[in-house]
Chains A and B, each alone.
Chain A
Amino acid sequence: MRTIMASRITETVSALCIRANLYLPDDVRDALQKSCREEPWPLARSVLEQLDINQALAAEKSRPICQDTGMACLDVELGQDVHIEGDLEEALQEGVRRGYTEGYLRKSIVADPLRRVNTEDNTPAFITWHLVPGEHLRITMMPKGCGSENMSRLAMLKPADGAEGVRNFVLETVREAGSNPCPPIVLGIGIGGSFDKVAALAKHALLRPLTDRNPDPFYAALEEQWLADINALGIGPQGFGGQTTCLGLAIEAAPTHVAALPAAVCISCHATRRMSAEL
């Protein structure tokens, strides 16, 4: 049994909120720069160069990469042998409150979806819990912008639709999104589970580094193929045309019902931000 103070969790989350919005993850930055070197279409290449300059400037000037500093999506792995001294949920929320206020980040959350009054501190964070063996607490902060989130989709397909049906749904979603989600995009794809589970899978898939493939060779092959299919659409950076529409995609699959084939596509932008800390 290990004890972690709630105050330490708050400090950690506050720092993660600020840093995640200033520094693009290495894998996303590398993918952006690689796409820039390989992009044959001149207008597309110049857009990618500007996006790379933007992320470098953000780090240099401590200015958020994007003005949409997002919903605070917190992915929390809690070891079952950890004891928290204090209120864990409140410690996380307080971290977001402090980080967004002290870091001059934009407050983008309204308290109610229809009455729409801003909470003015970017809380509540949206927290996903994973209870795992061990004595560690791992927190990943993903500031998720809504230009891309709004283009995400979910479909309850038929088992007969198979992999081809899911592929078509993914391509249709990307084509329909077009220029809106700030391409080049990053995709998290969930397949299986239930109506609610599949959306969580898609969101969780965005946490996987773009350099990694699904450990199951069957899904790894689908990832490679679908990425190539998406980049053949020609949408290009900002939707102005070009080879680079998608920087990377990750599929997460889960057991499902005999009658079901749920599929979800969570779209993220070229400024896919995430940062983790382990306590």
Chain B
Amino acid sequence: MEYHLTLPLTEEERSRLRAGDLVYLSGTVYTARDAGHARLTALLDEGKELPFPLRDAAVYYVGPTPEKPGEIIGSAGPTTSGRMDPYTPRLLDLGLKVIIGKGKRNRAVQEALIRNKALYFAALGGAGALIADCITAAETICWEDLGCEALRKLTIKELPLTLVLDTVGGNLYESGPAAYLASEQQG
């Protein structure tokens, strides 16, 4: 199925989507990757406030190329999500509802997604030039010392995403190849 949705997604919207659905997503997302997640976790450990509200938030795992003068952002495709697995269940339990990245997640992340009725989407890996056209605003919130890993607030418009992990345990990385191979055997 194909959907056009705007963040934050309601529980009804999140529960309706299934692994394999194509979603054109609009709204506000925050960027974080390896170093950003380490800092978010450190802040939580210290009981301090995070630089953005986690409740119903969407996080995009991206470290863009520097924007040229006059550009909003450089190339901005997803990075491999599995490196954020150790940090992710805790963020989901605190209200994070949408994650955008690419590649496999571990069992703990999948369980936390189901438990919190949250979603894991894949953006098109290695298509940073194309994805940049779906980002209409970008603002660095903090951690500029991290360079490409600085925490940014992005406004996305109709960003094409494929749902990989849904709220009922569906996993496109398993069902997609299985469906293709089954079609080959029949073919």
Contacts and interface: CB of A to CB of B under 8 A. Distances in A.
A120 B150 CA distance: 13
B65 A67 contact: yes
A67 B104 contact: no
Contacts of B94: none
A134 B180 CA distance: 52
Contacts of B103: 147, 178-180, 239
Contact of B177 (A55, A63, A233): A233
Interface in B150-187: 160, 162, 172-173, 175-181, 183-184, 187
B42 interface: no
A51 interface: yes
B129 interface: yes
B1 to A, nearest CB: 12
Given A63-B129, A180-B82, A238 B102 contact: yes
B127 interface: yes
Contacts of B183: 41
B125 to A, nearest CB: 4
A269 B67 CA distance: 24
B76 interface: yes
B130 A53 contact: yes
A63 B130 CA distance: 9
Interface stretch (A82-90, A103-111, A192-200): A103-111
Contacts of B65: 63-64, 67, 69, 104-106
A67 B176 contact: no
A121 to B, nearest CB: 11
B62 A67 contact: yes
B126 A116 contact: no
A47 B162 CA distance: 10
B126 A65 contact: yes
If over half of A's interface residues share one DSSP class (helix, strand or loop), that class is named, otherwise mixed; here it is loop
B112 interface: no
Contacts of A104: 65-68, 74
Interface stretch (A5-13, A240-248, A254-262): A240-248
Contacts of A68: 63, 77, 79, 128
Contact of A238 (B35, B68, B162, B184): B162
B80 A180 contact: yes
A108 B126 CA distance: 16
A41 B183 CA distance: 9
A73 interface: no
Interface string A94-138: 000000000011111000000010101000000000000000000
Given A54-B128, A66-B126, A68-B79, 9 more contacts: A50-B124, A55-B129, A61-B129, A106-B74, A106-B148, A178-B104, A238-B102, A239-B172, A240-B172
Interface of A: 40-41, 43-44, 47, 50-51, 53-55, 57-58, 61, 63-69, 104-108, 116, 118, 120, 145, 147, 150, 178-180, 182, 233-236, 238-243, 269-271
Interface of B: 20, 35, 62-68, 74-77, 79-80, 82, 102-104, 122, 124-130, 132-133, 146-148, 160, 162, 172-173, 175-181, 183-184, 187
11 contacts: A41-B183, A43-B176, A58-B129, A63-B65, A69-B75, A104-B65, A150-B80, A179-B122, A182-B102, A234-B178, A234-B180
